Amino acid sequence: MDKQTYDLRGSQSLLSRLFRFDTEAYLHMIFYRILIWFSFIAAGIFILDYFFKINALSHAFFLLVWIFFTPQVLESAKGLSVIGTKGFVFGYLNKSYLTTAGKYEKQKMNSFYKVLPYIVFALWISGFVVLSFEWLI
Amino acid sequence: MRESIKIAPLYIAMIGVPILMFLFLLSYVFFPYANTILMPLIIAGLLVFGVSGAREVYLQKQKETGIKLNGNLYGKTVTHGGVIKENGAKHVTVKIKRFNIVTRKIEPNIFKIGADKFTTVLDALILIKEKKDKTLSMRYSCRMGICGSCGMVVNGKPVLACETNVLKNAKNDEIEVAPMQGNPILKDLVDDFDDFFEKHQSINPYLYRKNKNEQYAAKEEFRQTQEEIERFLPYSYCIMCGLCMDACPIVNTNPSFIGPQALSQVYRYKSDTRDQKENRIENVDVLEGIWSCEFAGACSKVCPKGVDPATAIQLLKSDAMKNIIKKDE
């Protein structure tokens, strides 16, 4: 008799499963999915802006794209830190391994990589604030 | 209470043995030929005294705590009815979302059980299967977080049932258990791991030597420095429980993605200096390989062994980029 299975995989709605145990990942995934579709609309608005000079609308869309892109920037910076430290910073490596390997793996740049995502995030947010004041207020 | 019952005969023995010895000596002084009759009588008396003493202690404790010992669950004091006071035990509602093979739907079943501070989700499920619903299906083996068989979703989080405490995870005395959705479901809480193992097998998860004699009949060990071992060690802790696959949002939405488990093993073998397979990175340097990973990081957060597949995949991406740069040069 053939094995009968039931495959729930394949639906984008399953992203919501993340919300119950990893909110950061959930926001990251949701913002990225929104960004995919939103960037098409934003691109259309930017093209229209080139012909019809709808500055306010294009600026508002630019800032919305900026917001939706924020988790990607933060996660990319974290990814860079993870690669740079081989998972010692922002990683979830086995704790006993970290204790023993820490003796051999003394990375001087670890403290830099620890703050790197926050520096990038702060710069990203300040860019958003500056542009908002410049364009909308 | 069980402690008290174990201790009671000890007290009796502590008092009884000196008395026995005294009587034995006395019998030799006064009745040198009668001790063969006297001794069995003394021993029988002590046995009766010991058993009745233990029973007294048992009844006394039962009166004090209201706990019946007939519902003993693997050495832990749990009741299935009366008042529960010991070990912070209380009644918990277990909501099991089971996949019904007839209706082909996930249907919730609710059970009420007694759980103490040591009860794990696996204990609760075994109890339900033994006492309440014999049709409940789940997969388990070692009960100590080594075999990786009992992966399931508890309160929305993929976990090993044997390592998850019921009372710590119960919200308003209710706990929800569901099957993992990162693999096809077979029945109730049981997943089908065929796809999982196919993906694992596809990455050639073994050490490869170019020289076949070295591969199959090595005459000397392949020595490694401590630093070389540290490069792959945490990634070799994988117990193939499938929790990372269930947590991964990409596996959930795109089943063709090879997944964090297999990719972490690519990094494990690629980083091992004993391995001589050349195209490990090239094989996964495709859209359904490392480039499908969006670095959500959920796989690493749920890994019970600290394998950190997310880090492994980012390091593979970095190595793939380095390979491209090298080729261009």
Contact B149, B141 (CB under 8 A): yes
ipTM above threshold 0.85: yes
pLDDT at B80: 45
What pLDDT, on the 0 to 100 scale, is given for residue B280? 95
Arithmetic mean of pLDDT, B299-326: 95
Does B247 contact chain A (CB < 8 Å)? yes
Average pLDDT, chain A: 90
Residue A99 near chain B (CB below 8 Å): no
Q: Reply yes or no on whether the pLDDT at A51 is more than 50.
A: yes
B310 Cα distance to chain centroid: 23
Residue B190 pLDDT > 50, yes or no? Answer: yes
Who has greater pLDDT, B181 or B47? B181
- A94/B296 Cβ within 8 A: no
pTM beyond cutoff 0.95: no
Residue A9, chain B, CB below 8 Å: the answer is yes
**What pLDDT is recorded for position A45?**
93
DSSP-based three-state secondary structure for B159: strand
Contacts of residue B154, Cβ cutoff 8 Å, sequence gap at least 6: B121, B161, B164, B169, B175, B176, B177, B178
Show the tokens assigned to B80.
Answer: 């299935």
Residue with tokens 């600290």: B306
Q: What is the mean pLDDT of chain B?
A: 85
How confident is the model at residue B45, as a pLDDT? 72
The number of beta carbons lying within 10 Å of the beta carbon of residue A14 is 16
Q: Tokens at residue B127, please?
A: 């109890």
Q: What is the mean pLDDT of residues B163-175?
A: 94
Task: Please identify which residue in the block is written with the tokens 């494990």.
Answer: B268
Q: Apex CA B125: angle with CA B122 and CA B126, to 5°?
A: 85
Please answer whether residues B300 and A78 qualify as being in contact, where contact means their C-beta atoms are separated by less than 8 angstroms: no
Q: Quick one: pLDDT at residue A53?
A: 84
Q: Residues A11-37: what's their mean pLDDT?
A: 95
What does the pLDDT look like over A70-100, one tens digit per residue? 999 999 999 999 999 999 999 999 999 988 8
Q: What percent of chain B has pLDDT over 70?
A: 79
Check residue B79 and give its pLDDT.
47
Residues from chain B that touch A21, judged by Cβ atoms under 8 A, are 156-158, 247, 298, 301-302
State percent of chain A over pLDDT 90. 73
A5, A76, A91 member nearest B300 (Cβ): A91
Within chain B, residue ranges assigned H as helices are 2-30, 35-65, 121-131, 166-169, 194-202, 212-216, 226-232, 243-247, 249-253, 260-270, 280-284, 298-302, 309-328
**In sequence order, what DSSP letters do the residues of B240-280 get, joined into one string?**
---HHHHH-HHHHH-TTS--HHHHHHHHHHHT-TT---S-H
Residue A61's H or E segment, with its range, is helix A55-85
- Report whether pLDDT(B144) > 50: yes
Q: What does the pLDDT read at residue B282?
A: 94
> Which residues from B are below 8 Å from A76, CB to CB?
295
Amino acid type, B247: A
